[in-house]
Structure 1
């Protein structure tokens, strides 16, 4: 069973998975990175460009999904270095420190809350995020063209691409595509007919929506909606 709620860390979401016998669906691209805990391990989920399957036996998971673009400062690495990867937190931070944090989460009554507290403590000592991140995500999530968005932000295309790679793990066109997918899924899951969903989310038509979902999610839209 999957549960989530808004985090006390601005713009973030905390979530948990408890094994219940059901087959877990794939993790879809969100334009985000996560801090993960699972049965004694602390890991980092990099930004995905495609669906990431749940491999191995069912197990407990807790996670904190950062607001798009904010995790690289937290983890201390550019997002593109972790694109489509799951790595041990000890590969990024000193092993002794990670062991202490892991023990803290293991002993906590609620691993989700423990992860959230760790994120709040570290984030309090970090500089504010790059001011271009929020307006960029807002513009692309509203369906604004990348070129127009770059002009509005006063950034050239190459500079925007470099900063997007570091912050999101991929360029602004891929980020726009991922955000469009999430818009479409939210509309479809709320009961909006698929043809209308396609238009409102920014696709040319329903077949365009279907192709994009299959490429990014690895399965047809109908199957994804049944599982989600």
Structure 2
């Protein structure tokens, strides 16, 4: 096992999840495409770093050092920082925030205490009160397919500004993750493709290669080996 992880929910409506992970050894893993962005605290060899990591439009392989620890705050779709828009962070264009001390970092001209797993909610609430985190409710309305009195161009602009992604890309990533879950649960490949509206098995395969980093057969085979 490369990681040991723990995940919890948050009291903040701006947050999808709060998690922490520790690496058990050196290695690599496939990081699937993601529609959310994160704030990440990493501790490695006595050094602490604070980074903002954006959404990812394709699966990538990431290296992992041994005995490193991460704290992550994953934000809800539509939550963003006006001073650091998600589109600037897209596909591993992470931004590292300069540390002020061993326990604080600089963000938007002020110093902030590095959050912990326990006080991450308080940290997020402070960011919201300071106006550094906002949420565009239009994203929720688009995801619910609510009727909206805006032009297609205006909708696309606001959706991408808040998420860094187009609505179509979000849908494609979500569908690929649903397909991977069905395959992991033992659903046959052709049934998975049909259930989720893929044209055929080839369409499903191309989607999973791009967004999950594995073929349907590889995902199904791993499920049988467990």
TM-score normalised by the shorter chain: which range applies? 0.7 to 0.9
Residues 22 and 222 of structure 1: CA distance in aligned 2, closer, same or farther (over 3 Å): farther
Cα deviation, 1:102-121, whole Å, max 9, x if unaligned, reads: 3xx4xxxxx32233331133
Match among 23, 32, 41 for residue 36 of structure 2? 32
Q: Which has the higher helix share?
A: 1
Residues 223 and 153 of structure 1: CA distance in aligned 2, closer, same or farther (over 3 Å): same
* Runs of 4+ residues deviating >4 angstroms: 124-128
Which runs of structure 2 are paired with 1:93-108 in the superposition (5 Å)? 93-94=107-108, 97=111, 100-102=112-114, 105=115
Residues 222 and 64 of structure 1: CA distance in aligned 2, closer, same or farther (over 3 Å): farther
Residues 2 and 221 of structure 1: CA distance in aligned 2, closer, same or farther (over 3 Å): farther
Match among 44, 55, 72 for residue 81 of structure 2? 72
The SS at the match of 2:23 is coil
Match among 96, 120, 128 for residue 115 of structure 1? 120
Partners in 2 of 1:22 and 1:57 — Cα distance?
Answer: 5
Q: Could you tell me whether the CA contact under 8 Å between 2:189 and 2:217 is conserved in 1?
A: no
The SS at the match of 1:64 is strand
Could you tell me how far 1:68 is from its partner in structure 2?
0.8
Could you tell me how far 1:34 is from its partner in structure 2?
0.4
Q: Which has the higher strand share?
A: 2
Q: CA RMSD in A?
A: 2.9
Partners in 1 of 2:5 and 2:207 — Cα distance?
Answer: 25
TM-score (ref. length: structure 2): 0.77
Worse-matched range after superposition: 27-36 or 55-64 = 55-64
Could you tell me how far 1:77 is from its partner in structure 2?
2.3
The SS at the match of 2:40 is strand
Cα deviation, 1:157-211, whole Å, max 9, x if unaligned, reads: 2222211221111222212211211222232233332222222333222321111
1:210 partnered with 2:222: no
Q: Could you tell me whether the CA contact under 8 Å between 1:27 and 1:54 is conserved in 2?
A: yes
Could you tell me how far 1:15 is from its partner in structure 2?
1.5
TM-score (ref. length: structure 1): 0.76
